[in-house]
Structures are given as C-alpha cells and as structure tokens.
Amino acid sequence: MYDAEGRLDWSKVIVYGFVAFVLTVGLLLGIGFGCKAYDRYQKRADSKNNLWKAQYDKKIQVQDAQGKKLAASLLADVEIARAKGVAQANKIIAHSITPEYLRYYYIQTLAGHPGHVVYIPTEAGLPILEAGKGR
C-alpha cells in the first residue's frame, strides 16, 4: 500500500477498499440467499417429517385396533366356551334328576330344618294350609 518513497498509495487503498466492500456485500447477499434457501429446505423437511409422523400415527392406530379386535374375538371365544359348559352342565343335571332323587332331596331338606313349618303339596299341587289348627 506504500510506494517506494514510503508514501501511502491511495489508488491501492481505494482498490483494496472496493474489493473489501464487494466481498462484504457478496457475503451478506450470500447469507441472505442462503437463509432463504435454508428456510425452503427446512419447510420441505418439516412437511416430510409431518407426513412421516402422520403415517406412523396411522400405523399405531391400525395396530391398536387390530389388538382390540383380537382381544374381543378371544373374549367372545371364552364366553362361547363358558356357555357351552353351562349348557352341558344343565343337560347333565336335567338327565340326572329323577323322581327318586327329588324325593330323597325333599326328605333331606326336611330333616335339615327341624321345627320349621313346611307346606307339603297335595295331589292337586296346592298346599294344605293350617290343616288341623282348629282342633
């Protein structure tokens, strides 16, 4: 920047200053355009992430629904098996009850409750109420 005599060479100062100014403006413009480009990139990435998250959430909901469906199906199978067991038990009980067993059960019930008033049905199916009370 100095000439051979030690004086300041203004032409070089102006050229270097102009170059520094142009580089600074270029750098600022590059940063500005870079920020806009980065903003577009960021928006695109955000939209892709939002799409991915929506698809992931949908998969979770589908798997949750499938799990609930399977659980409901298994619970229905349990209820069907229980109902079949009850039906078989009822069928066994219905075939094993005979008039002799009912008579035995009746006598055992009477023996187990001494001192209680028991109404005994007659042939017509009606109890004789207070029979012999007036004597």
Q: How many CB atoms lie within 10 A of CB 9?
A: 14
pLDDT at 128 over 70: no
Residue 22, token pair as written in the block: 């142009």
DSSP string, 3-69: -TTS-B-HHHHHHHHHHHHHHHHHHHHHHHHHHHHHHHHHHHHHHHHHHHHHHHHHHHHHHHHHHHH
If one compares 102 and 5, the residue with the highest pLDDT of the two is 102
Residue-wise pLDDT tens digits, 47-75 = 889 999 999 999 999 999 999 999 999 99
Cα dist from 105 to 43, 93, 98, 108, 128, whole Å: 84, 14, 11, 5, 21
| Interacting residues of 16 by C-beta distance below 8 A, sequence separation 6+ | 1
> Are 129 and 119 in contact, with CB atoms under 8 Å apart?
yes
pTM over 0.85: no
Mean per-residue pLDDT for 25-44? 85
pLDDT at 42 over 80: yes
Residue 41 pLDDT grade (very low, low, confident, very high; cuts 50, 70, 90): confident
Percent of the chain exceeding pLDDT 70 equals 81
Residue-wise pLDDT tens digits, 73-120 = 999 999 999 999 999 999 988 888 888 888 888 788 877 766 666 566
The pLDDT score that the predictor gives to residue 45 is 87
Percent of the chain exceeding pLDDT 90 equals 33
The pLDDT score that the predictor gives to residue 133 is 55
